[in-house]
Structure 1
Amino acid sequence: MEKFWPACLSRFEQELSAQQFKTWIKPLKTEITDNSVRVVAPNKFVQQWVKERFLNKIEGIAEELFSHDIQIEITTSNKKSTPPSKARTNKTPLAPSGSKGINAASLEQKNKKNLNAKRATNKQNEVPSGLNPSFNFDNYVTGRANQLARAAAIQVADNAGHAYNPLFIYGGVGLGKTHLLQAIGNHLKQQNPDAKIRYLHAERYVSDVVKAYENK
């Protein structure tokens, strides 16, 4: 079974273009047991694409290599897992002997007020993101000409700073470049409401940088 997925990778690398292999096959991970193979995609879009276009090929390779039936499942990874929390080192000091001690409920309420005040201040100083909330991946019209761009944008949104960094999209007017870029920003904002995201044209970016240097 250990040779199964390397055999699949070798076959797909021969039959697909380098870009197709890098986009659809290389990001896949596998979990293999004696009678089953779980192919894990980085997101639902890649999962659906692989299931529709490559599952039959994967099953065919399994039939070539094994005399018994192999169950193959195409699924997605769980990226919602919570990272282990770090141990707190700043423990609350014990109240001095003879003192009334600290009211835990009062302390918690005070901390909550301070946090809300800080969030309110950040909200007042927040620069508008420039994102149009109506631009998202769900309502993006996909065709043969933009399937690859949409898939790459989704991977960027799911793996910000790692996948396709930087991402360059080229195309004619009205083909959805702006929609995809804003969909990335809206996806990231949805995952992390406190994230600082700005959508702006290159000319505006250069202008802001120049002004920042002038006012430095």
Structure 2
Amino acid sequence: MMRDSWNKILNLLEKGLNPGLYKVWIKPLKAEISSNNIKLFAPNDFVAAWVRDRLMDNIKEAGEQVLGVCPKVEIGVKKAVEKPAVKLAPATKPVQTSIGLPMMSPPVINTRIPRWRFSFDDFIIGDSNRLASAASRSLCDNTLPGDQLFLSSTPGLGKTHLLHSIGRDLCASSNKKHVSIACLTAEEFANRLVLAIKSGEVSRFKSEFRDNVDCLLLEDVHFFQGKQKMQDEILQTLKSLQLRGSKVVMTSSFLPRELEKIDPQLVSRFCSGLLAVISTPDFETRKRIVESKAIRLGTMVPNSISELLADRITTDVRQLESCLQNLVLKARLLNRDVSQELAWQVLENYAVAKATPSYDSIVDHICRFYELTADQLRSKSRKREIVLARNTAFFLARKHTDLSLKDIGSKLGRRHSTVIKGITNIEREISLQTPLGRQLQDTIDRLNP
């Protein structure tokens, strides 16, 4: 019964969390469950602290769904029984698999091939992303000058789609039996380095990334801002990969020149390959995205519906696809056709854009939602709720206006670096799907100029 309950909780967490988060931090946990108590045991103190700080709410929510009551969750470390030392063979090749990012079971750390979620076939090309798409394909067929690509855009415009498409294509076209591709976020790279340091496996970590990787796909490199040791490590890794002729693709919500507290050598390295910016797709591209997604969902939507969605959701492809998916699902559950009436009902839950929101309308929205005044938003207060509201305003102003990061900060009495840090924090909470992240997504979705 205890094992069944924990397996059900694991199943819910696997569905609700980013695959990398689940495999690195949740899967290594062991559990003991009694009535409404869940005792978790991590392989080491660092994993225990990380889960305690960032994933406890997710575990409690999953536990409540399975147990029927909100459980008390504790986490500690179960020390492994010591065994006689076994001499390990030299780690000359990374272990290959197709199940996703690696489980962190120190001391051995291996680069593994993930399950690719996207492909070039389902990436809709328009003027906004034509260069990025062409560059990504060229990297795969070796026609791109150089072996490095840097993709930049605001969230939800296709960076991750192209990253996974590159990984999938390289795996399919490689003449090697086992092509070694490391696909992870900058935060995951940093966490793995910290685990390697804690477990005394830094040399193995460096060897794995510098000597054994054919292609590094690294997301959200703005995470390295202000983290000098991490910057030193990724800089040396990039240098080693370049010398080996390995391919490198990096993504960020910011251009390299917009980053602060980054070693100039690392910024230069970011700029050493082709830089491709993905901008907001135009109406025709958005309409084709809706039509393509509908086909993948096994349905056809009337032209009027695809035009309605494309007209109302203008700045986030991920949100556009989510809206269509919810519309199709609602129609199926109600056993009804996809209609204008249903479409308008579903659109109420999304950021419908009659016009591009202005900076002032964004501030008004944030003040209403957080029940603050504009003066409080601009104040020097460090209260948690005000900081959160201010960061959300940074995020929305970056997403919906043409203001530079410096101008956004100036309007709210903050420096350029503070704006970047605030936007990064918002993106991180949303991508991790934490309770706070879901609240933030709701705030963003309700923006209606």
TM-score by shorter chain over 0.5: no
- Structure with the greater alpha carbon radius of gyration: 1
The normalised TM-score by structure 2 is: 0.23
Which of the pair is proportionally richer in helix? 2
The normalised TM-score by structure 1 is: 0.42
